A and B are shown apart, each in its own frame.
Chain A
C-alpha cells in the first residue's frame, strides 16, 4: 500500500498544472489551418505562405483595396504609355528592408527579373513573362515594358508572387524572409508556430501590435478547443462551421463572417464518355440542391452561385435561376441522353470538411436522379496527382480560392477538360477591354457562357468564417486579395480576455545529440559488462535489420504516387517551374544513386534537406524529439507507476475481490482506443473543467510549468492504455513465477505469500515486464501520432503524417528509419537488461 501511495503522490506533483503567466495584450495569436511549406512567397504557390508573410513581411509595388481597385504601395505612383505597353513606376523614398538596406530601383529590377528567370520557381512565372524588359531609369524609378496591353498587369503586381525582395537576402527567403513590411520575421517552430515582431524602421504607419504569432491547427477539434481555451485571439478561416454557434455564445469571442474569393464547385471531367454530353452535365447541375448542401456541409454559411463568379463583385450576375433544383428535369435529360437506367461515376473528395461532407450530400442528391456516385476520399497530394494532373476522375468538389480565376476556363487541358474557343475569345476581348463598362459586359458574358455549356456544378461561395477575440479591433479582412491586414489591428480597452502562454519561437536541436551521447555511453557500458563478442553479435543483427529497413522504406516511398514538386507548387505552377524545383530538390538522379546518397548521408548523420521546409531533416527531427521523447518517456513512467503496482496488487490477491476488480479494469483499459480516451479527456478536463489547455505546446522555453501542463492530458491518454497492458503482463508473470518450485520452497520455508512474491517472484517476473516496456518507448514515439493530432502537438508522429500528406518523402524515410532504429535498439536494451536480471542467460550467450 505504501508503494501505491508514493506513486500517486509523485504523480500528483508531476502533473500539477502550474499557473500560466498571462501574455501582454500587444501580441496577436492567429490560428491558421495550414502551415506554409516555406516563407518565400515568390517560389511555389502555397496560399499558406501568403497567409503568413504577405503584407506582414513582404510588400509589392501595388496592392488591391477592399473595393477591388488598385492602390499604390511600394510604388508611390505610375504612368502608362499610350499604347498600354509600358509602365513607369516611381518608388516610395525612405523604404528600408528589415536588414537595414534601402529599397532602390535595382531591387525591383532584381525581384521581377528573378521571378521570370530560367531557374525561377515562381508560380506566376507564365503571367509575369508578359514583361519584355525592366529598366531602372533612376534610383527610384523603374520602367516595365510588356509584350502586349494587359489590363490585369497591376493586379498581377499586387500578388504575393510579385513582392519586392533584395538581392542580398533572396537566397534564404524560404527560411529567413526579409522584406519591407510592418513586421519582421522572428522565429519558426516547425509544425507549430511562426512568430513575427513589429519592424520599427517601417516606412508607413507602424503596426500597433508588437508581436504576431501564427499557430497551425488543421484539426477542427483542436481549433475549437484552442479558441475556447483562449490560446488564440483570431482564426480568420475557422475550419468547423458546425461549432460557430457555440463560439459565438462565448462572451469573449465574436464571429466575423465575410465573403471570400472561393467558389466551391462540383467539377466535372468532360473529356469523354457520358460527361462529354452537355445534357448529362446539365442533368447533374439540375440534380443539385445548393441550399441543402450549404445547410448540410456549411451549417448555412455560404451564398449559392449559378456560375464561377463571386457574388460580392460588382460584375456578378445571379444565374442560379438557370439551374434550379429539378430532379424531374434532370431525369428527363438523362433519359434523353440515353442514360435512363442511370449512370456510375466516381466522386473524388479532397480532405477539407466542405468537400467531404458536401460530397456525401451531393452523392445522395445524385442518387435521387439515378446517378450512382462512388465516393473516393483522397489526400491533397493524391488529389493533385490523380485529379488535377492525370485527370483520373469523373466528379470532384473543390473550392477555387484565387481571385479573378474565371481565366482557368480558358486554359488548355485544365483538369476538368473544358475546351471552348468561344470562351477563349471572350477572355481575349476582356484583356483588351478599353473601359470598365466593356469589362462589365464581357464578364457577364463569361459567366453566362459557363452556365450555357453546363461546364461544372456551381455550388456556393465559400465564406471566411472568422472567429476573434471581442476586444480585437481595426482588423481589416481584405478581399479580393485573400489578405488579412494586421498592421492596424489592436486590442480595444475594456474586457480583454485572459490569455494563455505565448508561443516561444526558439527551436532547439539538442535532442538528437543527447541521443547519440546516450547511445555511445550505453554501448561502452555493454562492452564492459557483457564482453565485446556478445555486443558485436547483437550489433550486427541490429545493423542488418536497419539495412533491411532502409531498403523496404526506400522502395515503398519510391512507389508512393504524387510528386513532391507538384504538391509544393500548387494549382497554378508552370511545368518549367516544377522542373526547376525537381533539380533543386535533387529528384533527377537514378533510383539506386539516390538510395546510396541517402544511406551514405544517414551514416554521416546527414538526414538530407526537407523538401517542403528546406531545412536539414535532422533539425526537424531534433525539434520534434524535444517534444516526443519527453512525452513518450513520461507516459512510460506514468504507465509504470500505475501498471506495476496494479499488477502486483492483483497478483498478491489472486482470486480475491481486488484481483477481480483490477482485472476487469485492466481489460477495459486495454480495450479503450487511445484517441477516444484523448477526446473524452479534452471534453472533460479542457472544455468542461478548464484545468488544462486543450491543445498546442508552448515550448520548453516557456518554462517547465506551462510545458508540462500542456502535456498532461496527452500523457494520460497515452499512458492509461499502456498501464493496463503492463498491469496485465505483470500480473500474469507474477502469478506464473509464483507457481515455480523456488517460490513454493520459499513459502514452505515459512515466508508469507506477499514476502515470497516480493523477494523471489518479483525479480524473476521482471522479464516479460521489461519486454513490454522496451517496446513501449518506440511505440509511443510513433503511435502517439493520432493522440498528437487530437491535441495538435508538434511531435514526431505528426511530422510523419504531415510529411506524407505533403509528399515530403525524405522526411518520411528518415523518421521511419529512426523509429525502426529506436525499436531495434530498445530490444537490444531489453535483452541486456534480461541478462542483468538473469546471469545464466548472459553466460549462455556470451560464451
Chain B
C-alpha cells in the first residue's frame, strides 16, 4: 500500500472516531465511577479505565475530536491569514515585503513553547488559546512559503501576459498566482497540521490546552504518568493515539509531495 493511501486510511479512522464521539461513545466520558477505576483492558473496556473509572477508549475517541479540531482550526486560521499576507508581500515588494518578512522572523525567533506559555499565562489556559497559539506560530510559515512561490511565479510569462492584459496586482494574485500554489500549500498544511497535533498534545500535557472534563490526549498522558507502574495501559494508549494520528498526517504529506513531484516531472 502506498504512503498516501495508508495515511488517508489512518487519518480517516481518527476523523471518523472523532466525529462519531460527538453523537456516540461506548461509555460516557464524564461518568466518574470510582468502583471501576484502573481496570486493565477487557472486553467491556478494550483500553481499560483511568483513575476516575472512565473508559479509556471513549476518552481517546472524544480526545480525537478535541485534538483534531484544535489543530485544524489553528492551522486553518493560519492559512487564511498567512496566504494573503504572503501574496501581498510578493505582489507589493519593497517595504511591505520587508516589514512582513521581518515580523515573520520575529515570530520564528521565539521558541514555540515559550510563546504558547506566555499566551496561556496572559489569556488563561483553554482550547481557544491553544488554537490562537498554533495559529500565530503558523502564520509566518504559510506567509513565507506563499511569498517565495509567488515571487517565482511573478517572473513567469503567463503572469506577464496577464499584466499586459491590464489586470491589477490583486486580481493576478487571486486568479493566476493562488491556483498555482495549491500543491505546495497543501503539502505544507498537512505537515503543519501534524506538527500542530504534537504541539496541542504538549500544551495539554503541561495543562495549557483544553480543560477538563473534556478529554485530551496530552492530559491523559500527564494523568497517567504516576500510575505507569500499576496501570501502564494508561500511558500507552493515548501516546499511541498521538503517534498514529501524527504518523497518518505525515504519510499524507509525503504522499502529496511525491504526487506533486511526479506531476512536475511529467
Show the binding face of A for B, using Cβ within 8 Å: 219-221, 224, 240, 242-243, 245-246, 292, 295-296, 351, 356-357, 359-361, 363-364, 367, 375-379, 382, 541, 544-545, 548-549, 552-553, 556-557, 559-561, 667-668, 670-676, 679-680, 682-683, 687, 778-779, 781-783, 785-786, 789-790, 797, 800-801, 804, 812, 816, 819-820, 823-824
Contacts and interface: CB of A to CB of B under 8 A. Distances in A.
A801 B206 contact: yes
Interface residues of B, number: 55
Given A377-B212, A673-B202, A816 B110 contact: yes
Contacts of A378: 124-125
B225 A679 contact: yes
A842 B172 CA distance: 35
Contacts of B213: 360, 363, 375
A231 to B, nearest CB: 16
A360 B52 contact: yes
B235 A786 contact: no
Contacts of A560: 118, 121-122
Contact of A382 (B32, B124, B230, B242): B124
A441 B265 CA distance: 92
Contacts of A824: 109
Contacts of A823: 108-111
Nearest to A819: B111
Nearest to A677: B239
Contacts of B112: 783
Nearest to B230: A246
A800 B239 CA distance: 26
A357 B31 CA distance: 13
Interface in B228-242: 228-230, 232, 235, 239, 242
Interface string B90-120: 0000000000001101101111111001110
Which 10 interchain pairs have the tightest Cβ spacing? A782-B111, A671-B246, A676-B239, A364-B32, A221-B225, A671-B247, A220-B226, A240-B226, A296-B34, A820-B109
Given A364-B32, A671-B244, 19 more contacts: A242-B227, A292-B34, A356-B212, A360-B32, A361-B32, A367-B30, A375-B211, A548-B103, A549-B106, A549-B109, A556-B118, A670-B194, A673-B198, A673-B221, A683-B229, A783-B112, A801-B117, A804-B118, A819-B110
B37 interface: yes
Q: Could you say which of A292, A364, A667, A778 has the most chain B C-beta atoms within 10 Å of its C-beta?
A: A667
Given A782-B114, A786-B202, A816-B114, A556 B239 contact: no
A781 B112 CA distance: 12
A624 to B, nearest CB: 14
A783 B137 CA distance: 14
Contacts of B60: none
Nearest to B221: A676
A545 B106 contact: yes
B243 A676 contact: yes
13 contacts: A221-B226, A296-B32, A364-B31, A367-B30, A377-B212, A541-B102, A676-B221, A781-B111, A790-B225, A800-B114, A816-B118, A819-B110, A819-B111
B226 A242 contact: yes
B113 A351 contact: no
A683 B118 contact: no
Contacts of B109: 545, 549, 820, 823-824
Contact of A557 (B30, B118, B239): B118
Contact of B225 (A220, A779, A781): A220
Contact of B51 (A357, A671, A778, A797): A357
A246 B227 CA distance: 10
A377 B221 CA distance: 17
A422 B207 CA distance: 42
B154 interface: no
Nearest to B191: A670
A675 B102 contact: no
B201 interface: yes
Secondary structure of the B side of the interface?
helix
Q: Could you say which of A671, A687, A783 has the most chain B C-beta atoms within 10 Å of its C-beta?
A: A671
Q: Could you say which of A359, A548, A781 has the most chain B C-beta atoms within 10 Å of its C-beta?
A: A548
A667 B243 contact: no
Contacts of A242: 51, 226-227, 230
A295 B256 CA distance: 51
B227 A786 contact: no
Secondary structure of the A side of the interface?
helix
Contact of A670 (B31, B119, B212, B250): B250
Nearest to B107: A552
A785 B112 CA distance: 11
B201 A673 contact: yes
A361 B186 CA distance: 44
A605 to B, nearest CB: 21
A364 B30 contact: yes
B243 A671 contact: yes
Given A548-B106, A668-B243, A797 B194 contact: no
Nearest to B249: A671
Interface string B185-201: 00000000010001001
Given A819-B114, A820-B110, A823-B109, A804 B121 contact: yes
B226 A224 contact: yes
B149 interface: no
Interface string B48-68: 000110000000000000000
A824 B111 CA distance: 11
Contacts of A800: 114, 117
Contact of B117 (A224, A357, A781, A804): A804
A361 to B, nearest CB: 6
A784 to B, nearest CB: 9
Contacts of B37: 296
Nearest to B217: A673
Contact of B52 (A296, A367, A548, A673): A296
B229 A679 contact: no
Given A360-B212, A683-B228, A783-B111, A812 B118 contact: yes
Contacts of B211: 375-377
Contacts of B108: 823
Contacts of B247: 667-668, 671
A675 B198 CA distance: 10
Contacts of B251: 667
A797 B221 contact: no
Given A296-B34, A671-B246, A680 B122 contact: no
A42 B224 CA distance: 39
A823 B111 CA distance: 8
B98 to A, nearest CB: 11
Nearest to B232: A683
A224 B254 contact: no
Contacts of B52: 296, 357, 360-361
Nearest to A557: B118
A394 to B, nearest CB: 16
A243 B221 contact: no
Nearest to A826: B109
A302 to B, nearest CB: 14
Q: Could you say which of B106, B114, B194, B227 has the most chain A C-beta atoms within 10 Å of its C-beta?
A: B114
A296 B232 CA distance: 19
Given A240-B226, A544-B102, A556-B122, A667 B250 contact: yes
A221 B221 CA distance: 11
Nearest to A809: B121
A683 B235 contact: yes
Contacts of B103: 548
Nearest to B238: A676
B7 to A, nearest CB: 9
Contact of A243 (B230, B235, B239, B242): B230
A779 B115 CA distance: 12
B162 to A, nearest CB: 30
Contact of B228 (A292, A375, A559, A679): A679
Nearest to B207: A377
Nearest to B211: A377
Contacts of B30: 364, 367
